[in-house]
């Protein structure tokens, strides 16, 4: 009985630590998306010419909020493809510092989004309304008509 | 028993530190790229007039040939396309032929005698490409056909085909 009680106490402590860490974990909230349509009007010079190779979203196409912070953090970015053409090159760039008591740095030059996490930007304390711009490169008539989609994940990690 | 308690305590601390180290949170958005079918063809150079006005004595009039005035350009992001050509002149007095020269992004078909009997293949084997060619028109007349003029509206169409 005594051993069982002690074991239960330790288990409760362990579970409490885990829940506390969950509560303490820095949160990230991403809003926005980018829908791009490419057609004949995007030919560089009409019939006989290729498509414009590069397309850029609005500078605030995506907004990121970092909250519930407990110090320094880092935001990583990666993508998971649903139906994506291998010729496409997707890049992200931070176009605003956002607002909040903390600091923010990095990410103001384009980062190519691959299928593995890469550092995007870092900061400390809470930051809200950080704007992100996306760029799609390497578009050409070699890419057949279709609806292509990828999901871009932003992960905040305490550092 | 003490060892068990210490062991569990250490395990709790270690797992706690690991949890802290990997504490992370993710969110996402989507990127959608809709690529529409693109099948564009355009003529540059404008309208063309061919004049048959020379001949060698004892022979039929010389053909009038032009391969510098008009070009045809095209772009497609689809496979297995061809360009066809036809005229709206249902009853021409004289013969008008056209052939693609200096073709890029496809293969020239044989010279076509323009008619309204159906679209004729003009450039074939076009797939996901940009391309272009010079349009060489040849007008022919016999002495027996006399003088006059035919007006053709020539239409080139980028369409499905080998």
Phi, psi of A21 (to 5 degrees): -65, -40
How many Å lie between the alpha carbon of A105 and the closest alpha carbon of chain B?
A: 19
Tell me whether strands A34-38 and B24-35 are parallel, antiparallel or unpaired: parallel
How many CA atoms lie less than 13 Å away from A114 in the CB half-sphere? 4
ipTM: 0.86
Question: Which structural domains are found in chain A, ordered by start?
Answer: 27-158 (2.60.40)
Q: How far apart are CA B95 and CA B51, in angstroms?
A: 12
Give the pLDDT confidence of A114-123 residue by residue, as tens digits. 999 999 999 9
What is the total count of domains within chain B?
1
**Alpha carbons A137 and A132: distance in angstroms, whole number:** 16
Domain range for B46 is 39-160
Give A-chain residues touching B10 at CB under 8 angstroms. none
Of A24, A26, A150, Cβ closest to residue B31: A150
Q: With a cut of 70, list the residues of chain B below it in pLDDT.
A: 1-24
The model's pLDDT over B69-113, given as tens digits with 9 standing for 90+, comes to 999 999 999 999 999 999 999 999 999 999 999 999 999 999 999
Distance, CA of B88 to chain centre: 22
Note whether residue B52 is domain-resident: yes
**What pTM was estimated for this model as a whole?**
0.82
Report the chain A residue with the minimal C-alpha distance to residue B42: A47
pLDDT of residue B66: 98
Return the CATH number at B57: 2.60.40
CA distance A94 to chain B (A): 15
d(CA A158, CA B56): 92
Domain assignment present for residue B88? The answer is yes
Q: What is the pLDDT of residues A14-67, one digit of tens each?
A: 555 555 555 568 999 999 999 999 999 999 999 999 999 999 999 999 999 999
């Amino acid at each position: 009985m005594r051993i069982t009680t002690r074991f239960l106490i330790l288990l409760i402590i362990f579970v409490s630590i885990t829940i506390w860490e969950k509560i303490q974990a820095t949160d990230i909230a991403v809003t926005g998306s980018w829908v791009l349509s490419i057609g004949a009007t995007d030919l560089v010079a009409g019939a006989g010419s290729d498509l414009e190779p590069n397309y850029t979203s609005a500078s605030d196409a995506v907004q990121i909020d970092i909250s519930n912070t407990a110090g320094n953090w880092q935001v990583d970015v990666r993508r998971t493809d649903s139906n994506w053409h291998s010729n496409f090159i997707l890049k992200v760039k931070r176009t605003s510092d956002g607002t909040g008591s903390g600091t923010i740095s990095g990410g103001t030059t384009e980062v190519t989004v691959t299928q593995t996490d890469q550092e995007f930007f870092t900061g400390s304390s809470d930051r809200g309304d950080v704007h992100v711009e996306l760029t799609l490169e390497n578009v050409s008539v070699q890419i057949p008509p279709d609806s292509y989609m990828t999901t871009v994940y932003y992960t905040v990690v305490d550092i | 028993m003490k060892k068990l308690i210490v062991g569990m305590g250490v395990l709790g601390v270690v797992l706690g530190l690991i949890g802290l180290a990997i504490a992370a949170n993710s969110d996402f958005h989507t990127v959608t790229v809709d690529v529409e079918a693109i099948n564009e063809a355009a003529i540059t150079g404008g309208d063309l007039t061919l004049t048959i006005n020379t001949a060698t004595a004892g022979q039929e009039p010389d053909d009038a040939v032009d391969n510098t005035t008009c070009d045809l350009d095209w772009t497609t992001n689809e496979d297995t396309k061809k360009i066809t050509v036809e005229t709206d002149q249902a009853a021409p007095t004289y013969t008008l032929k056209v052939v693609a020269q200096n073709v890029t992004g496809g293969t020239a078909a044989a010279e076509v005698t323009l008619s309204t009997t159906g679209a004729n293949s003009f450039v074939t084997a076009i797939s996901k490409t940009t391309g272009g060619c010079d349009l060489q028109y040849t007008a022919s007349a016999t002495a027996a056909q006399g003088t006059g003029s035919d007006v053709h509206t020539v239409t080139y169409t980028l369409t499905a085909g080998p």
